[in-house]
Amino acid sequence: MKRRTFIGSSVAASAGLLATSTAKAMTTQKPESTELKGNINHSVCYWCYNSIPLETFLQNLQSLGIKAIDLVGPDEWPLLKKYNIHASMCWGAGLGIEDGWCEPKFHEALIKDYLEIIPKVAEAGYTNLICFSGNRRGMDDMVGLKNCAEGLKQIMPIAEKHGVIIQMELLNSKVNHKDYMCDHAEWGVTLCKEIGSDNFKLLYDIYHMQIMEGDIIRTIRDYNEYFGHYHTGGNPGRHEINETQELYYPAIMQAILDTGFKGHVAQEFIPTWEDKIAALKEGVTICDV
C-alpha cells in the first residue's frame, strides 16, 4: 500500500547527517543536542523522508536517539530489527485511504487482508496496525459509521487474540483527503464506542485535526482514552513544526504527557530544509518535553 502518493513526493535528498540547514530554515534555531528526556516515545513517518534509503535513515534515527518508525510493512521489518528500531505503526493491509471500511462492498477484501496481517504484526513483536474509513461518496456519516463498525467487528476477535490494536487515522477532508469520512474526532470516538473494544483506537493526527476543528489540547484531554497514537505536522503546509506555523507543539506534547499516554508520537511533516535529518532533529527536540 503506497499510503502517501496522494500528498506528493518529498523534497530534495538529505545533505548529510546533522549538516547545517539552508536559508529556508534560518528563522529557526537548530537544537544543539540530541539528548532526549525519555518522557515522550518518539517516532517518525518514513514516507516524509523516503528519498533517503531506509537503511541510511535507520542509522540516522539511531544517531538521533529515535527508537521507532511509522508506516512500514513486513518487507521492511527485518531491516528494522537489524538496527533495533521498533515499528510503532504498521501497515500492510487494506485498499488505501479512499476505499475503506465505510463501504460494505470492500469488507470482504479488507477482512481477508487484515486477518492475514494481524498475526504477522504480532509475531514480529509489534502492536499497532493502521486502517482507514474511506471516502463518503455521498454516504451519510452515521450510515458510514455503522458500516465501519459492522466490518471492523469481524476482525476484532483476531486483533484481541493477538494483542494488536487496530487504529483508524483521523484525516482532514478539507485540504489533503477530500471526502474522507473519519475527519472529526467526535465521529471517530463514536465509532470506538460502537465497536466497544480496547483493541480499536484512533490515530490522532494533530495536523489534520487542526485543519478540521482546532481545539487540539481540549480534544486530547477530553478523548485521550480513545487515542492510541499521535502524528505531528505544521499547519499550514504540513512542514516543520517550529515557529513558522500556528501550532505550539511543546504545550500539545505536555497535554499528551499529562494524560498518562505511553504510546508513540510520530513526526509526520514534510521537511523543507535541504538537510532533512536536521529538520527531523529539530522537530523531535521541540516535542521532547
- pTM for the full predicted model: 0.89
* pLDDT tens digit sequence for 91-125: 999 999 999 999 999 999 999 999 999 999 999 99
Whose grid coordinates read 535541504?
Answer: 274
pLDDT of 3: 44
Assign residue 81 the CATH number of its domain. Answer: 3.20.20.150
pLDDT of 34: 65
Give the contacts of 172 (CB within 8 A, at least 6 positions apart): 180, 183, 207, 208, 209, 211, 212
* 119 close to 104: Cβ distance less than 8 angstroms: no
* pLDDT tens digit sequence for 151-162: 999 999 999 999
Count structural domains, the chain.
1
* 282 close to 275: Cβ distance less than 8 angstroms: no
Domain extent, residue 162, equals: 3-287
